[in-house]
Structure 1
């Protein structure tokens, strides 16, 4: 069974802090204006946090919330800056940046996030047609690591820009990252929509 998954990275908070759901009034890294839908799929999902839901709405997507697409749980570090955490808990911060199994903040480890992403992709693999998913950068990174069968420590080697997108394709046996040049593909439509959102 073939499945095509378009993943779009959600916007971020203006404040450079460990992310968390600080409510619908949290400032976004870029201005957004709601637009009519330009994308279609058999199912459209998004993460439950306010910024991700607002990102999906700004893209004109009527998305259903899925808990599997949640931002990584940073526990007691939510809303705090890197410098603040590194200064207050240098040992915990160091362990988090070097050992994917550690969760010094009391929330979710990177390995736990990767397991969550793997399970969600396994579910998608059993579905026909196309899926669009708007999710935080951490979730996109976790899905890409699974596709490449890369070690968990590679999480810190990937940067995902807000509103960037990636297409993952499955034939029912394995996932592959798909690079497309189709002029009328959903990637082209997303690109046009993203350009308007960044304006």
Structure 2
């Protein structure tokens, strides 16, 4: 089967609230066979455009297509995927590699640049997703409305060095304290292991640090697993003033499936091909487990809920390595390689500010000075 993939993406600001859209059509009739769109949190235009391409190629593969003509109004993506331009931005290389892997599933894939007016359907889907990412509600999606990089919409964020005057929603991100599996460097996903004595001490130290940083905390929000809820309870007890602890299921750790409780060396020895695939793509999941893309979907739900539910307030978020890395990746508009390069210590503390207009600032990443001694 021959299909046409029309794909687009953009950001309100660059980076800013981002989204993508993709349409798959039957090549001869033009009949729409599939539509895909989603928000990306905060990202750049180029990341959003590549995300639209990936979504379109996946949809074509799901439909069983053998030949694909990709049409995009992004000259950069078309030229890079055609091999005529180098990929100089390291943040785009993992996305291009994922696209290249998908391309190999088909007998033939061609890339064609088209002007914006010939990409209205995908553009409208992308703009609707960008509206959602920016918290903008419209009566109807603005079909053909320009991407953030061309004509920023109302409520968009322009890059600026000027400190914002408004009060942000501040997220104090805390990885739970250490457990027995942490000390043994084992995969610890959905297994409900308690804090070790060292982890309890780390939680108390983190509570004192949070209290010094934040004179007023609206809530402590935690993953449902006991290593997080106990960390959250200790922090809330240290803060005093009746700060509530709220359990948020979407903050749970990635499900590592068959790898749960095993070391990296053990996994590498038993599942070498699966390990390579998992390290190479956020689409891949451990055997019987969960992909980072799936984790990202639920983490973005949490961020949107907190942003809306706690305007101009400070919230402590207690979670695990994978959700916190993904949240920081999105906040920094980084590529997927960021997930394998960032290290988060047990009880490490990070800070992200978010404004109502979509602006984001990362104030701190993995501070551990409070754990010294």
Please indicate, yes or no, whether the TM-score normalized by the shorter chain is above 0.5.
Answer: yes
1:115 positional shift? 2.1
- Say which of 140, 143, 151 aligns to 2:327: 143
Partner of 2:352: 168
| 3-state DSSP of counterpart to 1:30 | helix
Name the structure 1 match of 2:170: 4
Q: Is the 8 A contact 1:70 1:136 kept in 2?
A: yes
Matches of 2:172 and 2:291 in 1, distance apart? 25
Q: Where in structure 2 are the equivalents of 1:42-81 lying within 5 Å? A: 42-61=218-237, 63-81=245-263
* CA shift in 2, pair 1:60/1:44, >3 Å: closer
The answer to whether the Cα contact below 8 Å between 1:99 and 1:153 also exists between their aligned partners in 2 is no
Answer whether contact 1:95 1:102 (CA < 8 A) is retained: yes
Contact kept? 1:8, 1:134, Cα under 8 Å: yes
- Unaligned 5+ residue runs, structure 2? 1-166, 238-243
Please give the per-residue CA displacement for 1:86-137, whole angstroms capped at 9, x wherever unaligned: 1111110111111111013221111222222222212222132111111112
Q: CA RMSD in A?
A: 2.6
Q: Report the equivalent of 2:200.
A: 32
Distance 1:99 1:35, change over 3 A: closer
Deviations along 1:35-86, one digit per CA (max 9) or x if unpaired, are 5965341121111112112222333445221112111111121111111111
3-state SS, counterpart of residue 346 of structure 2 = coil
Provide the C-alpha distance between the structure 2 equivalents of 1:6 and 1:142, rounded to a whole number of angstroms.
15
1:176-197, Cα deviation, whole Å (9 max, x unpaired):
2125xxxxxxxxxx978x44xx
CA distance in 1, matches of 2:297, 2:328: 12
Which structure is larger by alpha-carbon Rg, 1 or 2? Answer: 2
Alignment size in residue pairs: 185
SS of the aligned residue for 1:4 comes to strand
Alpha carbons 1:114, 1:152 under 8 Å: kept: no
Structure 2 length normalisation: TM-score?
0.45
On the 8 A contact 1:43/1:132 being kept in 2, the answer is yes
Q: Taking structure 1 as reference, are residues 31 and 151 closer, same or farther at Cα in structure 2, changes over 3 Å only?
A: closer
Q: 1:29 to 1:73 in 2, by over 3 A?
A: farther
The reply to whether residue 89 of structure 1 matches residue 271 of structure 2 is yes
Distance 1:171 1:65 in 2: 24
Cα distance in 1, alignment partners of residues 264 and 197 from structure 2: 17
List alignment gaps of at least 5 residues for structure 1.
Answer: 180-189
TM-score, normalised to structure 1, is 0.80
Shift of residue 29 of structure 1? 7.8
Q: Bigger relative contact order, structure 1 or 2, given CA contacts below 8 A and separation 6+?
A: 1
Indicate how the Cα distance of structure 1 residues 178 and 96 shifts in structure 2: closer, same or farther if over 3 A, else same: same
